Structure 1
Amino acid sequence: MKIFQGLLICLLSVQLLSCGSSAGSDPAPTPQPTVSQLVSKSWSVSAASWDGVTQYSKGATSNLVSGYSQFKLDLTSSTSASLTEFDGRKFTGTYTLSVDNKKITLNGLTSSEGAPSGTNGTLEFNIVGTPSASALSLETSSTYIKASNKKVSLALVNP
């Protein structure tokens, strides 16, 4: 009988030790969103500059290019893109995120008036810094004819 009791106590002890305790243990880490998930939103401009000269700042009383208040970059679809430029023209096409998560390329942009001036329907933006759930900074990878042939930097927000 003592052997049976000893064996039972041993088994219970092993079972209790193997279960562990949740007290004091770290919870599973919250997975961080991917860059693809972070950029897949609808964005508006909080600030725009051409070759370092501020053209628009949201909330400013005067802006050189006030049309940026209507700018919208919609990347909510996994591949489709919609771009409303500072001149009010809206273009639709597709977008891709580079493998290294450093570039967004808008392809096949078109509207009833055709493609954005001087682009053949393609605009490429470098992602500046690290995107967040509410902010994305982009810079054109080359000069843009609609911006007086200057590089465009955009500070975008997701309201």
Structure 2
Amino acid sequence: MKQFIVFLFAISVMACSGGGDPAPAPIPQPPTINVADLVKKVWSASSAQWDGVAKYDKSSTSNVVQGYSQYKLDLSTAGSVKLTEFDGKVFTGNYSVATDGKTLTLSSLTSAEGAPTGTGGTITFTILTTPTATTLSLQQTAAYVKASSAIVKLALVNP
């Protein structure tokens, strides 16, 4: 009789235990970063370089190109851009962010005087690092006539 009770106890313990290890808890995946959402702000210049030479730093009082103090890149409306260049000229057009989040393209840029000099209405930037809520780092993919035909690198901020 004791053997029968021990046998029943062993069977009930095995039945309650599920017969094996419980399934491991799922590992939470990091959230997907949507660069198109992160850039959707109004940006101003914190610093600017032309071919690696500093031309503007917001914290400096002796800038080579003081006009960057008025530079604005307004991407706050999805797909629409308003660009205020360092020379004060304002252009409107469209923008898009590549699906890989590494390229920002401003297109159909125009103003009363036409497109920005030498661009045909399109300026393309490489997004150098993943944008944050307050910073955006860009580098033009082609030399820019208005910047002495240099490659422009911008550190932008959203106050």
With normalisation by structure 1, the TM-score equals 0.80
What is the CA–CA distance in structure 1 between the aligned matches of 2:29 and 2:119, rounded to whole Å?
Answer: 43
**1:32-43 maps to which residues of 2 (within 5 A)?**
33-43=33-43
Q: In the alignment, is residue 90 of structure 1 matched against residue 74 of structure 2?
A: no
Please report how far the alpha carbon of residue 48 of structure 1 lies from its aligned counterpart in structure 2 after TM superposition: 0.2
5+ residue gaps in structure 2? Answer: 1-27
What is the CA–CA distance in structure 2 between the aligned matches of 1:72 and 1:128, rounded to whole Å?
Answer: 18
Please report how far the alpha carbon of residue 29 of structure 1 lies from its aligned counterpart in structure 2 after TM superposition: 8.2
What is the CA–CA distance in structure 2 between the aligned matches of 1:154 and 1:146, rounded to whole Å?
Answer: 14
Which residue is equivalent to 1:121?
121
Please report how far the alpha carbon of residue 76 of structure 1 lies from its aligned counterpart in structure 2 after TM superposition: 0.6
- Give 2:63's aligned amino acid: N
What is the CA–CA distance in structure 2 between the aligned matches of 1:130 and 1:107, rounded to whole Å?
Answer: 22
Q: Deviations over 1:57-89 (max 9, x none)?
A: 002011000000000000011100010000000
Which residue is equivalent to 2:150?
150
**1:20-59 maps to which residues of 2 (within 5 A)?**
31=31, 33-59=33-59
Identity %: 55
Which residue is equivalent to 1:17?
none
Which residue is equivalent to 1:5?
none
Mapped contact 2:34–2:101 kept (Cα < 8 A): no
Mapped contact 2:35–2:101 kept (Cα < 8 A): yes
What is the CA–CA distance in structure 2 between the aligned matches of 1:41 and 1:33, rounded to whole Å?
Answer: 16
Tell me how many residue pairs correspond in the alignment: 133
Pair member with larger Rg: 2
Q: In the alignment, is residue 78 of structure 1 matched against residue 81 of structure 2?
A: no
After superposition, the CA RMSD in angstroms is 1.6
Please report how far the alpha carbon of residue 30 of structure 1 lies from its aligned counterpart in structure 2 after TM superposition: 8.6
With normalisation by structure 2, the TM-score equals 0.80
Q: Deviations over 1:8-53 (max 9, x none)?
A: xxxxxxxxxxxxxxxxxxxx88956521111111000000000000
Where 1:74 maps in the other structure, the secondary structure is: strand
